[in-house]
Amino acid sequence: MGHANFHPLSSTLSHFQHGDEDAHLCAYNVALDELGLRFRWDAATLRSVVTDSDEKQAIANYLTTHQAYLLKAYDVEFLSQLILDKKNQRFQTGSELAVSRYV
């Protein structure tokens, strides 16, 4: 899926236009599963959530709006960074490819 354009320090999803949307979606859903979170994203949710260049802030906005109950136990900054780090880890290693059931 052409992960060569992915830079681990990049927080933008501009590479979606290069056909990596499915890979990012899978990476997010694997990360959410590994963290024990009970929600998953579909492609429409991913596109609506991550609309700007600050991926961590986009995740925080989603959590605040759609998963506010989690913020009673976790700090939004901590949880959004944890999700982003885990997603980037999955994306970098290609682990999301083994779990295509999340697409």
Residue 80: give its domain's CATH number. Answer: 1.10.150
Query: Looking at the domain assignment, is residue 4 inside a domain?
Result: no
Q: What angle do CA 90, 94, 97 make, to 5 degrees?
A: 105
- How many domains does the structure of the chain reveal? 1
Residue 5 lies in a domain: no
Tokens of 97: 């490819």
Inside any domain, residue 58: yes
The reply to whether 1 falls in a domain is no
- Residue whose C-alpha is closest to residue 16's, from 40, 39, 48, 38: 48
When the pLDDT of each residue in the chain is averaged and rounded to a whole number, the result is: 80
pLDDT one-digit tens code per residue, 20-51: 889 899 999 999 999 999 999 999 999 988 87
Domain assignment present for 37: yes
pLDDT at 8: 37
6 located within any domain? no
Q: What does pTM read for this prediction? A: 0.73
Q: Convert 8-39 into a string of H (helix), E (strand) and C (coil).
A: CCCCCCHHHHHCCHHHHHHHHHHHHHHCCCCC
pLDDT(98) > 70 = no
The residue range of the domain holding 26 is 16-102
More confident residue, 5 or 65: 65
Q: Is residue 8 part of a domain?
A: no
**Is 84 in contact with 59 (CB distance < 8 Å)?**
yes
